[in-house]
Structure 1
Amino acid sequence: MLRRILVPVDFSRASACALAVARDYCPEGATVRLLHVLNPSELASRTAEPKINPMHAKEIRGEAEQQARDRLEAWALDGEEIALEIGKAAEKISEHADAWEADMIAMGTGSRTGLAHFLHGSATEWLVRHARQPVLAVHEVDLHEDQRRHLPPLD
């Protein structure tokens, strides 16, 4: 029985679809946790601008973390948990799923192909091969009207 469903989100439409599907299949009494993984290189690029004083790097990281938390809270429904990690997405998702004792990982999968796929890989693909939990991979699908009701805000 599913008691804990981890839903990694990158705030894409595919993530929103995965969250909607996870909510639809989530049994009563189970917990859904939304997880966002901040990429350290993206954080570094924010502080690498010449006009930013390196002394403010910690402040900039804190702002990035708070922005991610705010977005997670906007996506979460009452009773759902949120979590934030910093690191390589696939590895952090796997570690978090193990530590939280998730019963399933439900995540969106994009349409990255060619050079982008070669350079960055796919967190979903890696997790399907290596995670200790079942992984539900959800593409950008047309959702049923009931599922769209609770679709999180997209940019």
Structure 2
Amino acid sequence: MYLLVPIFLSSPLLKLIPTNPAALSLPTSLSLRPSPGRGLGVFALSPVPAFEEVGRYVGELICAAENERRYKGGGWRSRLWRLGRRLRGETVTGDYVYSIEPDLLVDGEDTARSGWTRYLNHSGEPNLAAKSLTQDMYGEPKVWFYALRDIDVGEELTFSYGSKYWDENDDVL
């Protein structure tokens, strides 16, 4: 018996695309693939009309003190937390934290608890905008992205991370 494997399944590019829950939550109208100079990015496979909601930013809700402890703090608790993340193959950068208000943040770094919007890249000329509410009609915090203009097939979906995201030495695109 022979197992026939299509050539594309053995492609080195296939190894670049994650198969975690966040990546697998991507709608069929979008594609996750390498973005030049940025790692992975989200690209439109069908047109996106202006002002249409494209997705929500989800993850673990944390306070500012927890964010500080996880990503900037020392101590045995934060070291143990980071070790646990690394053992599961998760990153510990703090780059996926979205601040709804000063003491209410969404941590989208854990791919088991986040969604595909964690792969949206920054642009100085974004085609998406983020909106957030501390409470939606169900009493829950909500962060979502909508199209600022019509987005064509093949375009990368991007938003502005805001000036507070960047360090003074960063080369912002």
With normalisation by structure 2, the TM-score equals 0.27
Q: Which has the higher helix share?
A: 1
Tell me the TM-score normalized by structure 1.
Answer: 0.29
Higher strand share: 2
**Larger RCO, structures 1/2 (Cα 8 Å, 6+ apart):** 1
